[in-house]
Structure 1
C-alpha cells in the first residue's frame, strides 16, 4: 500500500524545500546567497519592476538582508552563477553549467528547425556576423550590434536581426551573459565568461537526465514525472516518465499519494529519506510574507491551486475592464496558507498600497493587518521607499 502524505504535511514539506517554512536568517550575500541559489536550483529573472524585480523579491523573501547588487556580483564578478533558460530566463548556480549542454544542443536544434520559416533564408549569416563581432570587440549588447536595423515582423518579439542572432547564440551556448547594465544584457564568448574548469566538464546525456530529475525531486520534495521534467526544462516529458519507471523499479524513489487542498489525492514520487524528514518538520513561521508572482513555490499555477487551493494568474495582458484584480499583484502567505493578493506599487519614495483581496475565509483582524503592515515596512527597504501609504478602501471584498 502506498504511503499517504496528508495536505498539511505536504504543504510544510513543499514550503521547506522552497525555504519558506522556517524563519529566514543569513546575510543574503556571498556564500550565504550562493547557498540559497543552490537550494532553490535557480531564480527566475523578470524585468517588471513595480515594487522590486522578481528575482530580487524571491531572494529577499528568503533573506531579508538581501540587496540586488549581491546577485549581480555572483554572476558578473564571482562567476559562481550564470544566466540562462529554465522554464524562463533564470540565474543558475555555475556548478550546474555542464548539465546545460544538453539544453544548449536541444534548443539549437529546435531553433534551426523553426527559424528558416520565421527569419527567412540566410538568417544564419547574421549569426556568424554577430559572433565574429563579439569575438573581435568583446562584450556587446543589442545596442552594439545592428542598432540601425529595422525590426522584423516574424522574429522573436519583433527583434532586429542582430538581436535575434544574439539570442540564438546565447540559447545555444556559444555566448554567455557576462553582466548587465541598467538591466540590459551584455554578451561575450562563453569561453571568456565561464570558468575554464566548468567549461571543460562534460557529461553523457543519460547522466544529465538522471541529475536533472533527482535534483528537481530534492528541491520539490514530491512530484509527478511531468513536474520533475518542467523544473529545469532540460528533460522531455517522455524521458521523465521513463526515468520515474526505472527509478521506482530500482528502489531509488517510491510512490506516494499526496492529498490536495480539496481532499483528492495525486500520485507522485519521493524518496524514503524525504518522506521521513517530512514527519519531523517544525511548524511554519507565522510571519506574513509578500511573495513575487514568479516565486518558485507558486510559479506552477496548477500545482499552487491543487496544493494550496490558491488560483493565481497575472493579469498584465488582460484588458483593464476585465481584470478581477490589479495589473500586477503579489501573493501574500502566512504560515502554510496563501491569505490573499496585494496591489502595491512604488511611487517615488513611497509604497502605495492600493488594494488587498483576502482569500475566501480569511479575516483581516488587527493582528493580520499588523503583520501585513510589518512585512510592507520590511520590503520598503528593498524597494528604496521611505514610507507606506494605504488607500482608504484598501481591503477589498
Structure 2
C-alpha cells in the first residue's frame, strides 16, 4: 500500500518523530530511544550540541548530569562515532561493525600495524580504562595526514578503528577526552545476538522510527525496505513512512517553539528539509564572516511544523548573560509567535543559568 500524504501531514509526522511537538519526552533515555543518535559537538555558542539537542526536546527540567548518568552509571547509552546512542541499538550494529568493509588504505595500515593493534588491546585489557594519552604510540607505519584530525600520533587512529569494529568502547569522558576500555567491560554482557540480516532490518526500522519519513537510500537516513511506500504532494521522490506515524496522524498535535542546534539530526537531510519544509538550511560556521547572513552558529527556529527563523545568540559566561544578536524572521512572525519565541529565549536563559540581555 502506498500512502499519499500532503506536505502538512508529512511535516507533522517528521516533527512528532523528532519529539519536537508539544508532547515533550520526560528523560534522556526516552529521547535517545526515539532519535537513535544524539550528536556530540563542543561548539558552545549556547551549549554543546548533545545538551541543546536534549534541552530542545525535554525542556527546562533537563540537566547535563542526566546525560552523564545515563552513559556512565546506568549504561543505558553508549558513545559511538561522535554520537550518543541507546544501548538497545548496539546489538543491531555489532554484526555490521564486525564485518564492515574497509578502505584499502585502512587495510594496509592495519596490516602494517598488527603488533601495534595487539599492544593497544593488551594494554586496555590489563590496565583499562585509559585515555589515549595513556597509551604509547608504537605504530610501525603512520596514516596519511589527511586520514584524520589527530596529527602524527597514531593511537587515536587505532582507538577509532578498534571502536568502529566493536572491539573497544568509550566508558566515560574526562572533560572532552574519551576514556576507553575493551568491549567486554565497556558494554553490557547480556546483549541479544542477532543474525546479520535480521539486525540490519531492525536497524532500518529504528532509523525510520526516528525520521518518520525518509528516502529508501538516503545517505543521511538509509531505511531500506522498512515501513511502507509514501508519496508526498508535489514531490516525485519515493519515500518510506513509518506506519505507526500514519496511524497517529488523527491524534491531536499541538505545536511549540524549538531552537535546533546546527548539528541536530533533524537538520541533516537537507534535500528533505527543502522539499517538505521549504527550508534551505546552510550552516555558516565555516563561511568567512563577511559572507554570513544569519550568524556563525545560528540555531534554526521551528514554530509548530514550519521553520520560521534563525536565532543568533551567544552565552557570555564571564558576565553570565545570554546575548541575542538577532532573531532573523524567515517568515514574518505574528504577534503570538513573537511572544512564543521570546518566551522560549527566556526559558533558554533560565536553563543556562544566565540573564537574557535586552534585544
Q: Does 1:388 align with 2:359?
A: no
For residue 66 of structure 1, give the secondary structure of its aligned residue in structure 2.
Answer: coil
Match of 2:58 in 1: 63
For residue 194 of structure 2, give the secondary structure of its aligned residue in structure 1.
Answer: coil
Take 2:145 and 2:112, find their aligned partners in 1: how far apart are those partners?
16
Matching residue within 128, 131, 143 for 1:138: 128
Match of 2:235 in 1: 264
Take 1:173 and 1:156, find their aligned partners in 2: how far apart are those partners?
19
Match of 1:250 in 2: none
In the superposition, relative to structure 1, how do residues 123 and 388 fare at CA in structure 2: closer, same or farther (>3 Å)? same
Matches within 5 A, 1:361-380: 362-364=331-333, 366-380=335-349
For residue 197 of structure 1, give the secondary structure of its aligned residue in structure 2.
Answer: coil
Q: Residue 121 of structure 1: CA displacement?
A: 7.1
Match of 2:295 in 1: 326
Take 1:270 and 1:205, find their aligned partners in 2: how far apart are those partners?
23
In the superposition, relative to structure 1, how do residues 179 and 3 fare at CA in structure 2: closer, same or farther (>3 Å)? closer
Are the aligned partners of 1:81 and 1:91 in contact in 2 as well (CA < 8 Å)? Answer: yes
Q: Relative to structure 2, which stretch is displaced further, 263-272 or 303-312?
A: 263-272
In the superposition, relative to structure 1, how do residues 116 and 220 fare at CA in structure 2: closer, same or farther (>3 Å)? closer
Deviations for 1:309-329, whole angstroms, at most 9, x for unmatched residues?
111121222222222321111
Matches within 5 A, 1:1-397: 2-24=2-24, 26=26, 28=27, 33-64=28-59, 65-85=61-81, 89-107=82-100, 109-110=101-102, 113-115=104-106, 122-146=112-136, 153-159=145-151, 160-198=153-191, 201-227=192-218, 230-231=220-221, 240=224, 244=225, 253-259=227-233, 263-270=234-241, 272-278=243-249, 280-285=250-255, 287-348=256-317, 349-359=320-330, 362-364=331-333, 366-385=335-354, 387-390=355-358
TM-score normalised per structure 2? 0.89
Deviations for 1:249-308, whole angstroms, at most 9, x for unmatched residues?
xxxx5322112xxx3353322355542322x032432x3221111222222122111111
Are the aligned partners of 2:230 and 2:241 in contact in 1 as well (CA < 8 Å)? Answer: yes
In the superposition, relative to structure 1, how do residues 356 and 206 fare at CA in structure 2: closer, same or farther (>3 Å)? same
Take 1:305 and 1:75, find their aligned partners in 2: how far apart are those partners?
34
Deviations for 1:314-345, whole angstroms, at most 9, x for unmatched residues?
12222222223211110111111111111111
Q: Residue 129 of structure 1: CA displacement?
A: 2.1
Q: Relative to structure 2, which stretch is displaced further, 316-325 or 44-53?
A: 316-325
Deviations for 1:29-75, whole angstroms, at most 9, x for unmatched residues?
xxxx2222112222122221111111111111111111111111111
Deviations for 1:189-215, whole angstroms, at most 9, x for unmatched residues?
1111211101xx321111012111222
Are the aligned partners of 2:220 and 2:269 in contact in 1 as well (CA < 8 Å)? Answer: no
Take 1:78 and 1:14, find their aligned partners in 2: how far apart are those partners?
29
For residue 157 of structure 1, give the secondary structure of its aligned residue in structure 2.
Answer: coil
Q: How many residues align?
A: 353
Are the aligned partners of 1:15 and 1:336 in contact in 2 as well (CA < 8 Å)? Answer: yes
Are the aligned partners of 2:302 and 2:309 in contact in 1 as well (CA < 8 Å)? Answer: yes
Are the aligned partners of 1:126 and 1:161 in contact in 2 as well (CA < 8 Å)? Answer: no
Runs of 4+ in 1 over 4 A off after TM superposition: 147-152
For residue 210 of structure 2, give the secondary structure of its aligned residue in structure 1.
Answer: helix
For residue 95 of structure 1, give the secondary structure of its aligned residue in structure 2.
Answer: helix
In the superposition, relative to structure 1, how do residues 153 and 223 fare at CA in structure 2: closer, same or farther (>3 Å)? closer
TM-score normalised per structure 1? 0.81
Match of 1:395 in 2: none
